[in-house]
């Protein structure tokens, strides 16, 4: 097709629109990074902040020298790594049997699981359950209740289902049982979708905050997001930084907030460009039928 004049104008308008859209998506993060590296006066300047005109690393120094931010960081890393691994193993264990057409009562088991996507006990009954299980104020509460995402597990099931049966049959002839088939053959064949689901799970864990607010009181078990909430959103504000040299800290309220925020956001920003394609691969919401 030869581009007509109308088409060219349309392309030009489209590109300008997309560039504006990209700026809208990206600018907020640049702004916060710039504020976090600003002096108090610069941080309060109204206008666009692409880079700090007066640079100060004071806010980052304050933030990085707090012990509780590192406790939160440690717990966040723990739940992200352990939680993701456990989730992937568990979801594979569920998805594989459900993907086998000869599994007895397969549609019944699938129904049992799909139902939970549309009906749940609600916040209060769940809270009591966690309490009765003794999971309050334990790190296990970060891992176990969120072990399975039904949605992800169904995506995985559909992926397993699409692997040709011959693969399984030939392994069975060689004497492999289902456990070996799953862990040695099916999972290695499913790496792209497992990578996508792992990333989703990892991001979910890194970002999670509500379970920590609900179930964790012990400061030693807090995660980074709850720390950030204390600094940025709830009333406690930056006063928790003011144990020493109060006046200096108070002037740096905005840079300290921004630095805490960027510290929490940075891991995602750093891995994003490299892992971006895996976030999207295998995203197709395969129909729930099957």
Partner 1 sequence: MNPVTSPESGGQAVTRKPSKLAKTWKEYKKCRYLFLLLTPVLIWYAIFAYAPLYGIQLAFKDFRIMEGIWNSPWVGFKHFEFLFFHSPDFFKILRNTVVISFYHIIFGFPAPIILALLINEIRFSKFKKITQSLTYLPHFFSWVILSGILLTLLSPSTGVVNYLIELVGLKPIYFLGDPNYFRFTLVTSAIWKEIGWGTIIYLAALSGISPDLYEAAVMDGANRWKQTLKITLPSILPVVVLMFILRTGGILDAGFDQILNLYSPATYEVADILDTYVYRVGLQNFQFSLTTAVGLFKNLIAFTLVLMTNYVAKKLGQEGLF
Determine if 67 is a binding residue for partner 1 (CB under 8 A): no
Question: How many whole angstroms separate alpha carbon 288 and alpha carbon 290?
Answer: 7
Closest CB to partner 1 among residues 174, 244: 174
Q: Which residue among 157, 257, 259, 278 contacts partner 1 (CB under 8 A)?
A: 257
Closest CB to partner 1 among residues 173, 244: 173
Determine if 143 is a binding residue for partner 1 (CB under 8 A): no
Closest CB to partner 1 among residues 118, 245: 118
User: Which 42-61 residues touch partner 1, going by CB under 8 A?
Assistant: 44-49
Determine if 26 is a binding residue for partner 1 (CB under 8 A): yes
Choose one: 22-30, 58-66, 67-75, 189-197; the region binding partner 1 (CB under 8 A).
22-30
Q: Which residue among 40, 127, 136, 239 contacts partner 1 (CB under 8 A)?
A: 127
Over the window 196 to 235, marking each residue x when it contacts partner 1 by CB under 8 A and - when it does not, the resulting string is -------x---xxxx---x----------x--xx--xx--
Minimal distance, residue 176 CB to partner 1, in Å: 10
Choose one: 56-64, 68-76, 176-184, 239-247; the region binding partner 1 (CB under 8 A).
176-184
Choose one: 53-61, 156-164, 185-193, 252-260; the region binding partner 1 (CB under 8 A).
252-260
Q: Which residue among 51, 57, 70, 128 contacts partner 1 (CB under 8 A)?
A: 128
Choose one: 61-69, 75-83, 88-96, 236-244; the region binding partner 1 (CB under 8 A).
88-96
Determine if 136 is a binding residue for partner 1 (CB under 8 A): no
SS (H, E, C) the chain: CCCCHHHHHHHHHHHHHHHHHHHHHHHHHHHHHHHHCECHHHHCCCCCCCCCCCECCHHHHHHHCCHHHHHHHHHHHHHHHHHHHHHHHHHHHHHHHHHCCCCCCHHHHHHHHHHHHHCCCCHHHHHHHHHHCCCCCCCHHHHCCCCCCHHHHHHHHHHHHHCCHHHHHHHHHCCCCHHHHHHHHHHHHCHHHHHHHHHHHHHHHHHCCHHHHHHCCCHHHCCHHHHHHHHHCCCCHHHHHCCCCHHHHHHCHHHHHHHHHHHHHHHHHHHHHHHHHHHHCCCCCCCCCC
Determine if 14 is a binding residue for partner 1 (CB under 8 A): yes
Show Cβ contacts of residue 221 under 8 Å, excluding neighbours closer than 6 positions.
75, 137, 138, 139
Determine if 32 is a binding residue for partner 1 (CB under 8 A): yes
């Amino acid at each position: 097709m030869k581009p007509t004049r109308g088409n060219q104008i349309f392309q030009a308008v489209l590109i300008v629109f997309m560039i504006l859209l990209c700026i809208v998506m990206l600018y907020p993060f640049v702004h916060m990074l710039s504020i976090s590296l600003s002096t108090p006066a610069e941080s309060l300047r109204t206008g666009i902040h692409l880079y700090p005109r007066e640079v100060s690393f004071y806010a980052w120094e304050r933030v990085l020298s707090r012990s509780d931010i590192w406790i939160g960081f440690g717990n966040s890393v723990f739940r992200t790594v352990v939680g993701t691994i456990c989730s992937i193993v568990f979801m594979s264990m569920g998805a594989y049997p459900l993907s086998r057409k000869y599994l007895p009562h397969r549609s019944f088991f699938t129904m049992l699981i799909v139902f939970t996507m549309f009906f749940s006990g609600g916040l209060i009954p769940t809270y009591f359950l966690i309490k009765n299980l003794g999971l309050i104020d334990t790190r296990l509460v970060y891992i176990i209740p969120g072990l399975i995402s039904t949605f992800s597990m169904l995506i995985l099931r559909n992926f397993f289902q699409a692997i040709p049966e011959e693969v399984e049959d030939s392994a069975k002839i060689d004497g492999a049982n289902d456990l070996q088939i799953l862990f040695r053959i099916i999972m290695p064949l499913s790496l792209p979708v497992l990578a996508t689901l792992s990333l989703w799970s990892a991001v979910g864990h890194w970002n999670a905050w509500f379970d920590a607010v609900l179930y964790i009181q012990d400061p030693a078990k807090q995660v980074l997001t709850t720390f950030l909430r204390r600094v940025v959103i709830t009333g406690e504000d930056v006063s928790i930084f003011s144990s020493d040299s109060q006046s200096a800290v108070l002037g740096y309220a905005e840079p300290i907030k921004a630095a805490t925020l960027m510290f929490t956001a940075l891991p995602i920003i750093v891995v994003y460009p490299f892992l971006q394609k895996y976030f999207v691969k295998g995203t197709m919401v395969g129909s729930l039928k099957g």
